[in-house]
A and B are shown apart, each in its own frame.
Chain A
Amino acid sequence: MTIRVAVIRFPGSNCESETLEAARRAGATAELLDYRATSLGGADVVILPGGFSYGDYLRSGAIARFAPVMQAVRAHAEAGGGVLGICNGFQVLCEAHLLPGALLHNAGQRFVARPVDVRIERTSTICTGLFRPGAVVRIPQAHGEGRFVADEATLDALERDNQVVLRYVPVPGSDLPHNPNGSARDIAGICNPAGNVVGFMPHPERLAEATLGDTIGQTFFASLVGAPTSGAPA
Chain B
Amino acid sequence: MTNYDVLVVGGGHNGLICAAYLARAGRKVMVLEANEQPGGAAASREFASGYTVSSCAHWLTQLSPQISKDLALERHGLQLAARDLDSIGLAPNGQHVTVTGSAVEGAALSEEDKLAYAEFHRKTIKFSRLLARAFAERPPKLVESNLTDRINLLKLGLGMKLLGKEDMSELLRLALINMYDVMEEHFDNETLKGLLSFDGVLGAHMGPRSPNTVFGYLYRRVGDVHGYNGPAVVKGGMGALGSAMADAARALGVEIRTASKVEKINLDQGRATGVTLNGGEVIGAKLVVSNADPVTTFEKLVGFRNVETGLVRRVSQIRMRSGVAKLHLALNGLPSFSGLTETQLGQRLVIAPTMDYIERAFNSSKYGESSTSPALDISIPSVHDSSLAPAGKHVLSAIVQYAPYDLGQGWDNHKEAFTQQLIETIGTYAPDIGERVVASELLTPVDLEREFHIKGGHWHHGEISLDQVMMMRPFPGATQYGTPVEGLYLCGAGTHPGGGVMGLAGRNAAREIIKRGGAA
Answer yes or no: do A and B interact. no
Chain B positions within 8 Å of A, measured between CB atoms, are: none
Q: A residues near B, CB below 8 A?
A: none
